[in-house]
Structure 1
């Protein structure tokens, strides 16, 4: 409940700050936010687009949250998404298999690609105590240039900046979902995302592995003293985190899109950090935080069109909410301080009251 309250306060403060910016340029905050939420939720098609937009964010949010719960700060979700998406795209463009088997192989390729890209920072952390923030950021840019050269050299599409289009057989799009959501680009990636939320919640809260990973995150030296294999758990945590981010790449490049664009580091990798913080590093919290971000991203265009708010301001509103999500730890400290002050006041008042009665 405390984490939920802190997250809600972060969202409210972000929306208030965005409303003040609207007032500053002479726009109505009520009207602006009305159009923003209409743009994301007005009809079944827009709801489908919102869920599709949120799907990669669920994966990257889970990736960051899982690593953070085990004491690691994975900043490399963007690079892991790229490699996972590249691996899935390569399978889609080179293998001729039946649709169910092809989708399964693509998903496995994305998992392996993301895991391998996270393995290197995990190994460096475990063996040489290289800080994972530095190594994962470096791996992001290595992934960027790997995709930059591999795609034009092997999977060049109609232009120099994109890969070939994947076939309908290899796409995560489902005709049934497309019809149900009236032409939306929602795809089966949302099902994989929900399954990932359930699996990660089970691992963290119900398994010995999850207990050991959390123990290493709380105190590495105490976990080692208790006989846990700390280095193995660090590497394993990064592997699972990278696998989740790789799945985000599969959902983005073979579900939401049909090709890979070079020269772009996916913003979802970094937005996943804010999603994880807003979701209090809880799998369920990450899911709802990702949906909120999906609403904000999907509704921006409609808000701009209806009341002519500049796109830059709309993006600034999203950035402010991300900022408050990232600083939710400070809000939690204020909340804890207020609660402790109230508790201490009650403790002091109790004995005094009893003394007066006696």
Structure 2
């Protein structure tokens, strides 16, 4: 198959995949009696047409950036970490324990401690599958997805039996103190000129941007990043060059799990103000699509996270203000995943004839 130019691989293939997903979504909307033009208008207005909509879009995008970066780091080491959902839930547990442990006087003091706890808990949950892969040869996909279910069961047990306040019926932790609440965009100087009303997007968005830069520096400007990418390209060649397989697998998965765990700063500390049963909100699985669509590069992950944030918020608005069910949002996300992942080769084959002549 003809190798596509880099610009086509990075830009044209994802754009065509998006257009194909949008076309099929439009057909489905027509088949259920809806109006695709109305659906698009409502989605755009609801997600991008106001500061309120942008506040929700960026809130969702923040979570997807963390989980997308988590998949990206593991991918470059040749590991497919699909355990971001469980790692994020354990990260939420770390955030909750830190926020409930002390009477924090200010969020600026609690945030670094919560971020470290989230990263450590997420990394710890990724460490066992990583060790099984590095030492026992267990398939990372199988072990990480199994740990998602174990994490969900563990969180339910802790919320019901340990963290639930006496006399409370719902399985959730006690609320964090008001001093721990992270400032949202309407409380940040400069941004409050745009976001004049309270929105869920908060200071965690800035941390997510810093994480994108940090992953870029790690993978392309450090010795460890070189070892990770070399091992991911060819394990046998990397071993021959003296790169430790155990070191790369363990460190890449620990970093990956830590990034997934940090997602919970946004949800648990920034929005809910307590630990809930489904604190990850499905972001662990969406992170896989974000990484695939972003070509496993931090810049691409950032852009893909914005897209999925738009789909998440726009889909909710569509379900609220039209007769089209909100579940169609899942269909749209699934189609994007299908074309950017499983059918990526098909899109490349469609484009190959247009570049074959130039290749000669």
Whether TM exceeds 0.5 here: the answer is yes
The residue correspondences of 1:315-326 to structure 2 (distance < 5 A) are: 315-326=330-341
Measured on the aligned residues, the alpha-carbon RMSD in Å equals 1.9
2:61 pairs with 54, 66, 81, which one? Answer: 54
Stretch deviating more after TM superposition (194-203 or 153-162): 153-162
Counterpart contact for 2:312–2:329, Cα < 8 Å: no
The residue correspondences of 1:300-319 to structure 2 (distance < 5 A) are: 300-319=315-334
| Residues 138 and 108 of structure 1, relative CA distance in 2, 3 Å threshold | same
Shift, 1:169, TM fit = 1.9
1:153 pairs with 126, 143, 161, which one? Answer: 161
Shift, 1:95, TM fit = 1.4
| Residues 125 and 86 of structure 1, relative CA distance in 2, 3 Å threshold | same
* Residue 77 (structure 2) aligns with: 70
Shift, 1:30, TM fit = 1.5
Tell me, in whole angstroms, the C-alpha distance in 2 between the residues paired with 1:263 and 1:207. 36
Counterpart contact for 1:23–1:29, Cα < 8 Å: yes
Q: Which has the larger radius of gyration?
A: 1
1:202 aligns with 2:217: yes
Shift, 1:23, TM fit = 1.5
* Residue 176 (structure 1) aligns with: 187
Tell me, in whole angstroms, the C-alpha distance in 1 between the residues paired with 2:228 and 2:351. 26
* Residue 289 (structure 1) aligns with: 304
1:125 pairs with 108, 128, 133, which one? Answer: 133
SS of equivalent residue, structure 1 residue 169: helix
| Residues 263 and 249 of structure 1, relative CA distance in 2, 3 Å threshold | closer
1:167 aligns with 2:177: yes
Aligned positions, number: 345
Tell me, in whole angstroms, the C-alpha distance in 1 between the residues paired with 2:80 and 2:330. 26
Name structure 1 gaps, 5 residues minimum. Answer: 348-358
Shift, 1:152, TM fit = 2.3
1:139 pairs with 139, 147, 162, which one? Answer: 147
* Residue 351 (structure 1) aligns with: none
TM-score (ref. length: structure 2): 0.90
TM-score (ref. length: structure 1): 0.91
Tell me, in whole angstroms, the C-alpha distance in 2 between the residues paired with 1:36 and 1:14. 15
Stretch deviating more after TM superposition (313-322 or 59-68): 313-322
